[in-house]
Structure 1
Amino acid sequence: MKKSYCLLAVSLLVFSVFTLSSCRADIKWTKYENNPVLGGADLGTCFDIAMLQEDGKYKMWFSWRPKKSLAYTESKDGINWSEPTIVLAPNPDSGWENEINRPSVIKRDGVYHLWYTGQVWYNDWSKSGSWIGYATSTDGIHFERKSDKPVLVPEKGWEKEHAVMCPNVEWDADAKLFTMWYSGGEIYEPNAIGYATSPDGLVWTKYKNNPIFSCDKNTEWEHHKVAGGHVFKHNDWYLMFYIGYENEHLARIGIARSKDGITNWERLPTNPIISPTPDGWDAEACYKPFVIYDAKEKKWRLWYNGRTGNLERIGLVFLDGADLGFPKH
């Protein structure tokens, strides 16, 4: 019996050493020293972005709360941004988009495709709602709605018949389908992440086993909710950079990965990667990451919303090298 215990202890020690060495606990994301890079001053709250890297510059579509609209700005370095231009304003007559926000933008065959969140708020939150709409543009600035009605609505139990939001859309060239990861649940902060597919961007089929990603009840920093994932294919994995909520008001950012983007999500052992800075501009929450990897520079850039009080602004974080810190399989 003593021999068995000794063998077990040695095995656990070897496993622990292997895990610590293989998951690169020394990897550290570094916040830009002059954050935030957008918002505040005359712009007010700027949050929940989508980006493309084209023509030697970064193109950003962001949620502009004072205007209740989506706006566009661009930058050569990801730090200094041009004067914003509104690209899609709300349509109160629609009955579901008194304000719009949370864009997802991809470019395919010369056309910019935009999915966005439309919201209606009431003093009674149980009557408020959130839906997802779709628009296109040939220049990325002048968008035309493809439907007066939302293309994705809250109807499933886990969506609480209340809110779907935060679309994150990619084009799957092999399957010839648009693929969407979206958040659903309560309207103030959604609860989990679901998956849907569409051949045309208008008609969507939700995955039968949604949600595909839910909070880890045994992990304090994200035991309350998860939402706002940025999902994309990188090498042999789908990566998800997501928001984890310790409670309704305290949020951090973590990473998970999956071979198919739907099942068997593996969280980074050293999560969270980004947390609020005490007494900083992001002292209360870090939300909604958007990530771009520069293969030439071998550098990750991550933009996110930081919040203190009711003000949200956009900040930037860097990671040098390609290694995110996952264990080697």
Structure 2
Amino acid sequence: MATRKVLVLLLLFGTAMAGLWHATSTGTHAAPLTAGRDRTLADLFLKELVDFVPEPTKPVFTGAGPGHWDARIRERGWILREGDQYRMWYTGFEHDSSPLLKLGYATSPDGIHWTRYGKNPIYDEHWVEDMMVVRHEGTYYMFAEGKHDQAQLLTSRDGIQWKRVGQLDVRKKNGEPTEPGPYGTPTAWVENNIWYLFYERRDLGIWLATSRNMKVWVNVQDEPVITLGPGEYDKEQIALNQIIKYNGRYYAYYHGAGAPLPGTRKRLWCTCVATSQDLIHWVKYDKNPLFPLEENKSSGILVHDGQRFLLYTMHDQVIRHVPREDKKAATTERGEGKQPCTTRPLLISGAGPEIHQATITGPQFHAPELFQCFEDYHNPRLKRLRDEYELEQVVEGEPNEFRRILKLRHWVHNRWRFDFDQNFKGDAFAILEKAKTGCGFNCAHSMTVLHAVLSSMGYVSRYVLGDRNHEDLGGSRHHGVNEVWSNDYAKWVLLDAQYDCHFEQDGVPLSALELHEAVRKDGGQGVVLVRGVERRQVPMAPRTGPQPHEATIFSYWWVCWP
């Protein structure tokens, strides 16, 4: 029973606790893939990104009806999942001739049942429509259309009290002002301290501008980066709703429209997707649109629920969609009045009715003898650490568990400069607070804080101490690091937050014991040192020298778990 309990803990606490995030040509149509390319369209457009069905079948949020300020809702709204709460911002209005479109807010515990904020509308000083929200370094940035389809920016510290910064200043590639006229459906993405702004002009294409100060935005080119067509479904109008990054590629979720219905001016809008490696050159999904055109679903965005992507279409009612294979399981396993079940059934390839019991094989788990328990995810101090330092935002939009772990390590690495002589003693809170004053710290402090950060985010972590061969250096050169249980690799992995690195062999991250055995066997032949979230290979410090660097396999000649 002890083995089973610890295994369950590992599986539960090692699960990613997610929170985003944020499209095929340089002037003509989307660049087609050719047979000579390594990856096919099916490889690029993974099932979990494109194959959705409604669940539940009815809208989860609509206008409040006659007599309310938000009798109707329209255009793109935005949903963020933060911790255990879903937050929605939406545009509300009373009727077609309403003089002002206002900003509303609602929350949900499950993404299905929504409660409007009691003090709605939360912003009614200016026209706000077709908005999206980016949370970056503790501030919420809202990019929205203003009156006459003019892109504007608002900011907030809590997502409820908003302040208008003003209309966006978008320039041509040469720095000259763009031609007067509408530029709407602004969609932002931030990466490496550069902000990317996608926008449409009269829905005739999607342009891209960048900025480092969010004051002046300059086109990367003066032609659209996503153009109309060639399919009938987006041949006449398009607008971009969201950018996400998944498995190293960018994906743009946009809506498009073709010709008006015969004898009318009405167009049917549809939800589509494209992908890119550089945010400039895009390939459209060959099975666009994602839903039948007659369903008229648009303003689609993805939201990660911690296990999978959900797709919400927002205009002019909010419809929630789940991955196709998950719908049956969710419907069967959810009873009346219960919250949606997010567990998935065990699928056995080639199983028939004669199979009545399954035996699961895999890496054998041995219950630890030294480590009898793990931190409780709901511990108030761990929750305080998550909330106070906004750790959910560090991994927001990252579905891959191991990359989430690496992002948390990178976050700790960047908290302070290295100070080998620092002898400050305190817990993770004390260290992080003192770091704000500019103090530097050493490996012991990095080890302490990373352990707390990983535990607060639901990962199983432990301390590791390594030391050099004393015969090499004439004395000790100990180093403090961590190990974390990786569900992706079904093993312990050593993490060094001080140097933002770990060790790999044939692409597989190694544990402290594996490093110890490798260095004793042949000096670690075939083991490489990788750094950062992108796992860049970097040179290892030599075995000996006047001041040997700890980021080397030779630091693990001796290992222990204190």
| TM-score bucket (shorter structure) | 0.5 to 0.7
Deviations 1:81-119 (A, max 9, x none): 11332224588x978x83111122121111111111211
Q: What SS does the aligned partner of 2:318 have?
A: strand
The CA RMSD over aligned residues, in Å, is: 3.5
Deviations 1:48-80 (A, max 9, x none): 1121112322111111124x4211111122121
Find the aligned partners of 2:134 and 2:234 in 1 and give their Cα distance. Answer: 32
Give 1:25 deviation, angstroms.
10
Find the aligned partners of 1:264 and 1:148 in 2 and give their Cα distance. Answer: 42
- Hey, what does 1:82 align to over in structure 2? 163
Q: What SS does the aligned partner of 1:140 have?
A: coil
- Hey, what does 2:137 align to over in structure 1? 55
Q: What SS does the aligned partner of 1:130 have?
A: coil
Spell out the pairing of 1:271-282 with structure 2 (5 A cutoff). Answer: none
Give 1:130 deviation, angstroms.
2.4
- Hey, what does 1:208 align to over in structure 2? 286
Is 1:179 aligned to residue 260 of structure 2?
no
2:310 alignment partner AA: L
* Identical aligned residues as a percent: 19
Give 1:264 deviation, angstroms.
6.5
Query: Is the 2:170–2:178 contact (alpha carbons within 8 Å) kept by the matching residues of 1?
Result: no
- Hey, what does 2:271 align to over in structure 1? 193
Query: Is the 2:208–2:220 contact (alpha carbons within 8 Å) kept by the matching residues of 1?
Result: yes
Spell out the pairing of 1:83-232 with structure 2 (5 A cutoff). Answer: 83-89=164-170, 98-119=181-202, 129-172=203-246, 174=247, 176-186=248-258, 191-214=269-292, 223=295, 225-232=296-303
Give 1:190 deviation, angstroms.
5.1
Q: 1:266–1:201: structure 2 CA closer, same or farther, 3 Å change rule? A: farther
- Hey, what does 1:240 align to over in structure 2? 311
Q: Bigger radius of gyration, 1 or 2?
A: 2
Give 1:226 deviation, angstroms.
0.3
Deviations 1:259-287 (A, max 9, x none): xxxx77959989xxxxxxxxxxxxxxxxx
Is 1:38 aligned to residue 135 of structure 2?
no
Q: What SS does the aligned partner of 1:201 have?
A: coil
Spell out the pairing of 1:65-80 with structure 2 (5 A cutoff). Answer: 65-66=147-148, 68-80=149-161
- Hey, what does 2:319 align to over in structure 1? 254
Query: Is the 1:90–1:98 contact (alpha carbons within 8 Å) kept by the matching residues of 2?
Result: no
1:239 alignment partner AA: L
Query: Is the 1:192–1:211 contact (alpha carbons within 8 Å) kept by the matching residues of 2?
Result: yes
Identify which of 109, 113, 136 aligns with 1:28: 113
Q: What SS does the aligned partner of 2:224 have?
A: coil
Give 1:158 deviation, angstroms.
3.5
Q: Which has the higher strand share?
A: 1
Q: 1:196–1:235: structure 2 CA closer, same or farther, 3 Å change rule? A: same
1:191 alignment partner AA: W
Q: Note the residue ranges of structure 1 that are not aligned, 5 or more in a row.
A: 1-18, 120-128, 218-222, 245-250, 271-294, 298-329
Aligned residues: 218
Q: 1:27–1:112: structure 2 CA closer, same or farther, 3 Å change rule? A: closer
Deviations 1:156-208 (A, max 9, x none): 33335201113311122x2x221111101159765111110111111110011
Find the aligned partners of 1:265 and 1:89 in 2 and give their Cα distance. Answer: 42
Deviation beyond 3 Å, 4+ runs, structure 1: 24-27, 88-91, 186-190, 263-270
Find the aligned partners of 1:266 and 1:88 in 2 and give their Cα distance. Answer: 44
Find the aligned partners of 1:226 and 1:73 in 2 and give their Cα distance. Answer: 27
| TM-score, length-scaled by structure 2 | 0.35
Q: What SS does the aligned partner of 1:159 have?
A: helix
Q: What SS does the aligned partner of 1:37 have?
A: coil
2:251 alignment partner AA: T
Find the aligned partners of 1:27 and 1:240 in 2 and give their Cα distance. Answer: 12
